[in-house]
Amino acid sequence: MKTVSSTGFAIFGAALIAISYGLARFAFGLFVPPIRAELGLTPYLVGIIGALPLISFLLATSVAPLAADRLGARNTAVLSGAFGAVGLALISQATGPLSLGVGVFACGICTGLMMPALTAAMQVLVDRSVHGRVSSVMNAGTSIGVMVAVPAVLFMAGIWRYAYMSFAVMAVIGVFAAWYFIPSVSRVAPSNAAPPPPITALQWWRLFRLSLFAFVMGFISSAYWIFAPDLVVTLGGLPPEQTGWLWLAVGVAGLGGAVVADLADRNNPPITQALMLMMLAASLALLAASPDQLALAAFSGLVFGLAYMSLTGLYLMTGIRLLPGRLSMGPVLPFMAVSLGQATGSPIVGILVKNFGYSDAFAIFAAIGIVVALLSPLYPRNIEQGTEEATEEETGLQAAYDYQLQDEKGEPFTYDTEDDKN
């Protein structure tokens, strides 16, 4: 294993997330128009297939912490990359809905295993004082991967099989890089750090509310991730290769999501949740209203990308804060809720498109987003960490990570460099 700096690991982690999230998971919607045309898929079948990687993501995420503990960070990351490479290769050779479904299912396993493996590796390679910054950079990898897929659809929309094979090659490179850079074991918590306190009823209630909001957000966003490119091609008559501009807009705007989430934690999470859900709904309505206008469609991608990445970042931060000392659980549950919502919403969108058309289907999902945004005052606030003055100071993603290891007084665990290396 080669030792890397904190900055180097952040960039490396972002690259692996770009492959596992951006290419293996979210790029599928971008290629739906040519895949659907060549394989003769109905909107309902597209919705079912689009839900498969989200289901496998849930299954993989549920066992990922155990896998990272038993197999080690390196082997878990390599296993993730292997599933991604196999899944992408299967998609490139798909001859029908069954083989295509197997490929996207394997890609979902890749996505579910990668972030826990990188989080475990971060405990070993990165100083705790910069965990928040490194996590923000790695999370941005999703947007980078989405943008990487854009040239492929711009120049290879008619030869989507070659595009997916090139993605599979990138995944293979990622496997070898993971074996070379990621350590085989995870850091053990210092013996003098306090164990995590028991989960209280209040914490469970707040985590349940957070997961409900995350589920609905995933439910609404599934319409855009799976069907947006097909909408502008089918309803708007745009050439399939021009749908790449939607994903470019989503990726560019998504890079600002980490900043918005961090600011939300410093100010008012419920208001940010309401605003971003409204923006998510607006992106669906705008796309359905002007599918033949490329500029407006791309603008809807900007709105969607900023809203989606901001909300996922906000849910990550809130989940970490609600369960201090339980990093493998706090942020995992809302992310699983997002995927469960997407897996539920994808086939429902397909049914609505088949029976009512794209415009009405997207309008219904936009309306759901507006209604849920009005319920945002119920969004769980942070668990109080003592005095109001201290709470105001300790905000942001790094502060959330600081509280993962606590002393007996419930304050962030302090350590020296030598202790941290042991």
**Predicted local confidence at residue 397, as pLDDT:** 61
Residues spanned by CATH 1.20.1250.20 within the chain? 1-186, 198-412
Cβ atoms of residues 402 and 394 within 8 Å: yes
Q: Residue 38: count other Cβ atoms within 10 Å of its Cβ.
A: 13
Please answer whether residues 301 and 250 qualify as being in contact, where contact means their C-beta atoms are separated by less than 8 angstroms: yes
SS percent in the chain: helix, strand, coil, step 5: 80, 0, 20
Question: What does the pLDDT look like over 278-335, one tens digit per residue?
Answer: 999 999 999 999 888 989 999 999 999 999 988 988 888 888 778 766 666 667 788 8
Task: Report the alpha-carbon distance of residue 217 to residue 225 in Å, rounded.
Answer: 12
Q: What is the pLDDT of residue 383?
A: 46
Q: CB burial class (10 A; 0-12, 13-18, 19+) of residue 421? A: exposed
Predicted local confidence at residue 69, as pLDDT: 78
Other beta carbons less than 10 A from residue 77's beta carbon = 30
Which three-class secondary structure state does DSSP give residue 406?
A: strand
**Given its phi and psi angles, is residue 87 left (phi above 0), alpha (psi -120 to 50 degrees) or beta?**
alpha
Residue 220, CA atoms < 13 Å, CB-side half-sphere: 30
By CB neighbour count within 10 A (0-12 exposed, 13-18 middle, 19+ buried), where does 358 fall? buried
pLDDT in tens, 169-216: 999 999 999 998 888 765 555 555 556 667 788 888 888 999 999 999
How high is the pLDDT of residue 186?
A: 56
Please report the pLDDT score of residue 323 as a whole number. Answer: 76
Q: The pTM is what?
A: 0.81
pLDDT at 73: 87
CATH architecture group of domain 1-186:
Up-down Bundle (1.20)
Assigned CATH topology for domain 198-412: Growth Hormone; Chain: A; (1.20.1250)
Low-confidence residues in the chain, pLDDT < 50: 383-393, 416-422
